[in-house]
Amino acid sequence: MLVLASGSFIRRRLLEAAGLEFVADPADIDERAVQDDDPDTLAQILAVAKARAVAPRHPGRIIIGSDQVFEMDGALGSKPETPEALREQLLSMNGKAHTFHCGLALVRDQELLHAEVDRARVRFHHLSNSEIEDYVATGEGIGCAGGYRLEEGGVRLIESIEGSHFTVLGLPMLGLIAALRTLDPLTLIRRSQENS
């Protein structure tokens, strides 16, 4: 059985939808203490740190760590924590493109088995002030990388995505499945055999 080093509802939902057996055990790391100017490097460091933080509690199991870094105009973004910060972020993104850098790490007993970073570029529509205010009022973008949730009402803000929507959601599923095929193919078939 796999272990997801995250409490994220959407990451859990993606693994469930793929039919993977796993338990969720959120990593308790201080993400703000980790700094790097390169978004790919930062996403990878955070993904590995999350997986390694959880590994001692699950000996012999493959731990999935994932983290997402938001970048726009060459600057790293933070997760807006207030409606005012969310409004300001959405206004700055209006009609522009931004990039998600999503790190994926697979660890077993502190050994790094696989690491990758996937990128997706998202362009926002030119939004009216009322569209932005309507989205801010939902509160769903608070605490999210980029300030919106693709899987919810945030999809209305998006004009286009270049790359995988899984990356925008925070877990590069295609890379994960490919790595599991190599590292432990049985993780991909156990659930389907039980249900046959």
pLDDT in tens, 99-147: 999 999 999 999 999 999 999 999 999 999 999 999 999 999 999 989 9
State pLDDT tens for residues 168-184: 999 999 999 999 999 98
25 is catalytic: no
Segments in the chain forming alpha helices (H): 9-17, 39-54, 83-93, 129-138, 165-169, 173-183, 190-194
Q: Which of 29-38, 64-73, 101-110 has the lowest mean pLDDT?
A: 29-38
What is the spatial distance between Cα 189 and Cα 80, in angstroms, rounded to a whole number? 39
Q: Which of 67, 109, 118, 134 is catalytic?
A: 67
Distance CA 164, CA 125 (A): 19
What does the pLDDT average to over 21-38?
89
Distances (CA, A) of 14 to 11, 32, 133, 177: 5, 26, 29, 12
Are 1 and 63 in contact by the 8 Å Cβ rule? The answer is no
User: By residue range, what is the domain housing residue 167?
Assistant: 2-194
Q: Give the Cβ contact number of residue 194 at 10 Å.
A: 8
- Provide the CATH number for the domain around residue 167: 3.90.950.10
Q: How sure is the predictor about 32, in pLDDT bands with cuts at 50, 70 and 90?
A: confident
pTM of the model: 0.91
Assign residue 148 a region (left: φ > 0; alpha: ψ between -120 and 50; beta: otherwise).
beta
CA distances from 66 to 58, 74, 179 (A): 17, 22, 14
What pLDDT is attached to residue 196?
44
Determine the angle formed by the axes of helices 129-138 and 83-93, rounding to 10 degrees. 140
How many independent structural domains does the chain possess? 1
Number of C-beta neighbours around residue 155 at 10 A: 13
What value does the mean pLDDT take over residues 57-67? 98
